[in-house]
Structure 1
């Protein structure tokens, strides 16, 4: 039985690979980044108020301006330095867009050459311009080639009508996975994470590895037509890798621009609140309590939360970027995460 039947290494969707299940997957990948930032801010606010109210220490410190000054002065410095660093990083990322005409022509030539190679591999004259449609075309082609492979091995005279189980199983897994990913890619607009998420859910690395192993195992028993179809399937899978990496890189740039825009919008209000807390706010002006909690404590917690909002937004976006980057460090049939192939570790 082929290893493609199950196991950690064959987890086709990112959700199946994330330790912590659906909540952790939402936090790291799937959730709206502004909502994730809001959750982090709410947790920070709750921890600050909870420790201030129930932890060791005295609430009377709030009536002394020194602690407030000491708290919000680093917030002001952090906002200014953080936004400056992110905008500088943004310029470095976008520097490739500002190159001389020769570099731009080389980029254009490489892109057109890659598209032509893909069109030749999938036997089409023109490939679609949209990333989702381009990836969907590759996935649909692997679906069609897997079905063709299945038909050939099931009618192959060299196997006396008894197709090898691992070949059949491999082709069926490719068909099933391709159908799922193709449906997810259909009609998706680049700029939303859905396109990259669907592409990441197509476990092409394992398909290349398992496909090459199964093909080489039955090279002597399969007909030349079946082997040719197998080779065509593996070739299209090999095109999917660089295509996905290219669109992932473009998405990372897109996200960095979104981070910069979000920080520019929120930084000035956050700075204004921090400055107000340093220059004007007096805890004695809000004497009293709400739900048993000191009003001064509640307002200081709100102001602190607003002050660190730029950091929370930055962190929420970076969490998704670094998580995706970690999962896609290798290209091709290299699998960096833990697998359960057992004793099957030798070269074949």
Structure 2
């Protein structure tokens, strides 16, 4: 007599624990690795750097457990798009620096190893800097700032050959242009192109070629100057719209405000304290003490653009702000050097700016 056994009950799937994702980013493809909280490598794979690839990467990682944290190399370059996608999916993304050279010599270097090291950096707490979201008004400012820097560099590279041509030009032409300021010099040279277009065709002289060259270079300088003015106007409107309180600070103009906003990013909540912002700007004090000599020096790390912005604030205040001038005189009488006073003033400026940028409301995210 045959008896039928009851069908086995389906096993309930245990909810997977938390895992940590590490990604080594490249231009065309990203290599990802998933680690358990104990550091065991659960899976490693490669995905294309496309929108579909980002979705497939996160779906693949979640098969091993709940993904709440991720370490990504190059969050400001090749990994910027992936970082924005992971943040939109509720994953905390941490910026991971390159692997230590000594460690690389011992263990070798490969994309899977880099991905695993990115995850281990998050597990150990070595990677504690949260990635910028890069999807709001600050990202717009970053794009305009990049455009302006490129135009300023191109204009300088055009002004230099124009002045070199004048040095070797005919004496009569040199005397005609001598003593002119830059603005008047460029306008005068730009008119050479219009004058040469009305001259009859024939064999060109060196003088005529020189005038045409000066005219073309001056026209290019004018176009680049107009482009710079347009970008400056856009940056000023952006700051007035999203961070007008920064413009009320003594020594802060649109350029300085933009540099500081770019350093903070679109998610200022990632900065835990004013000390973290000071370290990010490279104005946190660094001990340089030995024996009985107890001193501190300027920090040579951090974001140098933000450091330069705070430097401009301090030196503007030293010229026009009575409170800063009184502070400078008092510290000089205490025996402090100019470098030490500037370091202190930059730290104070960083504190003031930090409390203002923490008030920023998140703008429209794309």
Q: TM-score range by the shorter chain?
A: under 0.3
Whose RCO is larger (CA < 8 A, sep 6+)? 1
Which structure carries more helix by proportion?
1
Q: Normalising by structure 1, report the TM-score.
A: 0.23
- Pick the structure with more strand per residue: 2
TM, length-normalised to structure 2: 0.22
